[in-house]
Amino acid sequence: MKNVCKRIDAICQRILNRGFMKMIRLHGINMKKIKSKLPRRESERRNHPLARHSDILTCIETRISMLTMTYGKYIEAKLCCFIPGKVIDEVLRLLRLVQETTLQVRSHEILQELRDISSMAIEHFDEKICMALKKTFIETTKQRLPPASNFTQILTESVLVTDFNNARQSSGSQSPQCVVRNRQDCATARRNRLSIAKMQSHYSKAMNKVNRLVNLQNKQ
């Protein structure tokens, strides 16, 4: 491991992430252009001069999906950037080739390099980087969630529950109009209280799931 300036590291990460987003955007634009030029019938598409171009873009789309599934959630959590910059360069090269070439090309030979480097990038990430990031991702997610005791305290001290209790206590000592209004308030507060109970149940399940993931990670 080498010491790296944090500012330079942040700049490089932004450049790689921008390149990844640019790659996805340009692929979408090219895919729309090629599809608009292809005939609608499948039998006519096979013999069309742009059929190979469509195959190339479809393969690129598959590779982009695999890379997004591998890196996506860690990029969103700001735990890493899109690391394989060579994949970005190769995809952009293929997209330029699709844009500039109107002749039929051999898609298998052209896509071989992309298949190789993208597969190596995914394997390297899964074997060398993913495990450490998973642990950090779980710890970060757990830190963002408040403790169960605090969550319960927030619910019990919430305005909705307080209004429900106050309306229930004061409903017997007021005029008929106030009683009707309080009954309506009680019904609304009761529904809100049920919603809060459901939220608490979902929160408890989520915390249990996080704890199980942490335990599994510790065992590994």
The confidence score (pLDDT) of residue 14 equals 92
CB proximity list for 42: less than 8 A, separation 6 or greater: none
Q: What pLDDT, on a 0 to 100 scale, did the predictor assign at position 179?
A: 45
Report whether pLDDT(198) > 60.
yes
**Position 186 confidence tier, pLDDT thresholds 50, 70, 90:** low
| Residue 33: alpha-carbon gap to chain centroid | 27
Grade residue 19 by pLDDT with cuts at 50, 70 and 90.
very high
Distance, in Å, from the CA atom of 152 to the CA atom of 203, rounded to the nearest integer, reads 10
Is residue 106 predicted with pLDDT exceeding 60? Answer: yes
Distance of alpha carbon 54 from alpha carbon 202, whole angstroms = 45
DSSP 158: S
Kindly state the percentage of the chain with pLDDT values over 90.
23
- Most confident range (mean pLDDT) of 39-53, 94-108, 149-163, 193-207 is 94-108
Kindly report the average pLDDT of the chain as a whole number.
Answer: 76
Question: Is the per-residue pLDDT at 169 higher than 80?
Answer: no
pLDDT class of 123 with cuts at 50, 70, 90: very high
The reported pLDDT for the residue numbered 145 is 53
Q: Distance (Å, rounded) from C-alpha 21 to C-alpha 12?
A: 14
Cβ distance 151 to 200 under 8 Å? yes
| Span 102-121, average pLDDT | 84
What are the extents of the domains in the chain?
Answer: 6-144+151-159
pLDDT digits (tens, 9 = 90+) for 22-78: 999 999 999 898 888 887 777 677 777 777 888 889 899 999 999 999 998 888 888
Angle made by CA atoms 197, 202, 206, in degrees to the nearest 5? 145
The answer on pLDDT for 132 being more than 70 is yes
Q: Is the pLDDT of residue 161 over 80?
A: no
